[in-house]
Structure 1
């Protein structure tokens, strides 16, 4: 198993709310989130939530290889809930949540789970790529974020519109017609995208937070194939460096409207023999 991993917080010295880790034949990536400008109701914070859930999930899915990934995630969410439900208000509207991407190789197949707007990128031996992303959050967001995108990123007006937008999103979280994400309730795991592909068809498996996929899906400065070429030649750190360079060229979000000028960015690139 040949895995390269890189992760950077949105700003130096700021907590990184992404989490990624790998074990023999398995990897996870989580992108933690709250509601902009709101208290989480959790004394531990978003980074604690994503890293604790991610560590438990990786442990569960490797210790129980026959257990479906969605069940592994549901069990891990239950354990995290038990760790802080007595000290934190998990009914609070801004309680920490996280996207989840998980992969596990077993019996000649790669099992995968995707929940939320992080991305799993599968590449075959001919260079063809398949990007698996849970689009439900984006579909809901497009209906609501027009006022946000019309304002300069980082301005007081943008911050106020962004807070209102995220507050509206919270009302659609983990309910039919909205979107699903890992939070206090294990039933969200049952709404994840899951599947399996033959392991011998794959050349690489890449897990990316949405802060890392900006180069392709937001900025349109690269294709998935071009991104893989960068990863193959220079590794995840170079890919994140290119994302940061593009963000620096558009600090006000005029060219590429976005919620944050910079975001936590994480890449796990697993090359198969």
Structure 2
């Protein structure tokens, strides 16, 4: 397995709240969720949460190869909670959360887990593509973001609407009928999308945060089918460059309405040989 990784914060000099890492036969990617400048109840911050959860999850899934990925994630959430529940208010509605994508290769199959709106791209040797994305946030978001998408990104009015939208989302987070994401409660892990695919059929496996998938699922300037070839030939840096180019061409979100003009973008691409 040959792994290439690229990650870029939303703005130069800002903290990157994404996290990605790989070990022999395993990889994880997390996209921390927080609001810049808003109190989270956690003294450590969103980047600490996603990096700590991601690092411990990778360790857990490699140390316990027979343990289901959802059980590994639940145990890791419990461990991270124990690290800061005495110093942080984890009951606060804006406490740090994170999406999770994890894969682990066994003797014959690749196991995967997806929680939240990051994506897993599986390309097989026949050039067929499987995309696994948890769309529950998108589904509830469509009901809530009409006013937000009608306003120029970055404007004062947009900032107010974005705060209202995020407040509404916290009210349905990790609840039936809402959406699920890794936070302080381990039961969210068992709401993950999980599955297996035959390892011998795969040509590549790619983990992407939603800041990187924008080129496909929001801007529609590339296709899922075309991403593996781009990543194999030019690497993940080129995909992020194209995302930033599109974002720069539409800074106000007129063509592509979005909450953030630019977002942290991370890609971990595994070519299987």
TM-score, reference length from structure 1: 0.99
Contact 1:73 1:186 in 2 (8 A): yes
Give the structure 2 partner of residue 2 of structure 1: 2
Count of aligned positions = 273
* Aligned-residue CA RMSD (Å): 0.7
Give the structure 1 partner of residue 251 of structure 2: 251
Give the structure 2 partner of residue 213 of structure 1: 213
Structure 1 segment 94-173 matched on structure 2, within 5 A: 94-173=94-173
Give the structure 2 partner of residue 204 of structure 1: 204
Give the structure 2 partner of residue 46 of structure 1: 46
Structure 1 segment 172-191 matched on structure 2, within 5 A: 172-191=172-191
Q: Following the alignment from structure 1 to structure 2, what is the Cα–Cα distance between the partners of residues 180 and 13?
A: 30
TM-superposed CA distance for 1:38, in Å, is 2.4
Q: Following the alignment from structure 1 to structure 2, what is the Cα–Cα distance between the partners of residues 228 and 263?
A: 22
Structure 1 residue runs without a partner (length 5+) = none
Which SS does the other structure have where 1:268 is aligned? strand
Q: Following the alignment from structure 1 to structure 2, what is the Cα–Cα distance between the partners of residues 229 and 250?
A: 26
Q: Following the alignment from structure 1 to structure 2, what is the Cα–Cα distance between the partners of residues 147 and 229?
A: 38
Give the structure 2 partner of residue 74 of structure 1: 74
Q: Deviations over 1:217-255 (max 9, x none)?
A: 000001012222210110001100000000000000000
Structure 2 residue runs without a partner (length 5+) = none
Q: Following the alignment from structure 2 to structure 1, what is the Cα–Cα distance between the partners of residues 226 and 62?
A: 32
TM-superposed CA distance for 1:206, in Å, is 0.2
TM-superposed CA distance for 1:107, in Å, is 2.0
TM-superposed CA distance for 1:114, in Å, is 0.2
Q: Following the alignment from structure 1 to structure 2, what is the Cα–Cα distance between the partners of residues 36 and 219?
A: 24
TM-score, reference length from structure 2: 0.99
